[in-house]
Amino acid sequence: MPELPEVENARRCLIKAELPGRAFTKADIGWAKSVKTPDLEEFALGLRGGVVQDVHRRGKYILLPLVNGESETRTLILHLGMSGGLSVQPRTNPMHPLVRHTFSLDDGRELRFEDGRKFGKIWLVSDPSEVLPPLSPDPLEGGLTPQVLAKSLEGRNAPIKALLLEQSIVAGMGNLYADESLFLAGINPTRSAAGLTGEEIDRLQQSIVNALTASIEKYETARDESWPDPPRALTGWTHPRTEGAPCPRCNGPFTGTRVRGRGTYYCPKCQG
């Protein structure tokens, strides 16, 4: 589930749970392959004693800058993959069966990393740029202007939907919000990026920002209402994801197809 809005929601939950200021006392890794850097032993050793300074997000990555007693700084980086989720809970709370990793804190709570499909990833590094892939400016912080987007799409003949999923083009974009952005912009997901007009790219850029912002707002409300239970996954998009379902705009039937192997839904009439 985690795309930019879900990861941003997770980030805000960790802030609200007052994770910053706490120190890690222990790492319990339940699926070794999740830890990419360094090796397991060094990871557990390096994490111990680290005091969380803040919770940042870069695209779909959560970054926890840590400082230990000797004022050495490292960063714990988490990627939630396809099915990951994070929560901070008292150690005594019942453990969800899909929690793969737990990071004990110095106040009797622990950071829990749930990851049913085991596609999540974890790094502990001195310099995040060692492991982070190239990412576009964050769509929520104004850096992803129509000009920047147009430049990224220049000369690219792949379907626009496929390119929106590239994190170097739109950091944080995922399959669902790609469909939603294209629906809002009225653009067919299968069209070649190079064939888009300047006006369409402008509309697409605006739709990307709108789609992500609207979803985050929904999470914001849900979090306030349901705290401390993290908001369940909510429907942060407006287009249907069922073949034949009525288009919210023209009432015509939605089409389901595959673009680069990913489930793709669009209105053939509004997104001709």
Partner DNA sequence: AGTACGTCCTGATCGC
Partner DNA sequence: TGCGATCAGGACGTAC
Rounded Cα–Cα distance for residues 240 and 188 (Å) = 15
2 catalytically annotated? yes
Tell me the closest approach of the beta carbon of residue 189 to DNA, in angstroms: 12
Candidate residues 87, 89, 175, 181; the one interacting with DNA per rule CB under 7 A: 175
- Total site size for DNA, rule CB under 7 A: 36
Rounded Cα–Cα distance for residues 249 and 39 (Å) = 52
Instruction: List Cα–Cα distances, 160 to 138, 182, 266, in angstroms.
Output: 19, 9, 13
Site for DNA in 204-223 (CB under 7 A): none
Crossing angle of helices 198-226 and 175-185, in 10° steps, is 120
3 catalytically annotated? yes
Q: Which is nearer to DNA, 23 or 208 (CB)?
A: 208
Binding mask 132-161 for DNA (x = CB under 7 A): -x---------------------xxxxx--
* Catalytic residue selected from 22, 57, 58, 60: 60
Q: Which of 30, 27, 57, 32 lies closest to 128 in space, CA to CA?
A: 57
Tell me the closest approach of the beta carbon of residue 38 to DNA, in angstroms: 16
Q: Which is nearer to DNA, 156 or 249 (CB)?
A: 156
Rounded Cα–Cα distance for residues 242 and 47 (Å) = 44
Tell me the closest approach of the beta carbon of residue 21 to DNA, in angstroms: 28
Rounded Cα–Cα distance for residues 74 and 167 (Å) = 24
Crossing angle of helices 146-153 and 198-226, in 10° steps, is 120
Residues that bind DNA (CB under 7 A): 1-3, 6, 33, 59-60, 79, 81-82, 98, 116-119, 133, 155-159, 162-163, 165, 167, 174-176, 193-194, 233, 236, 260-263
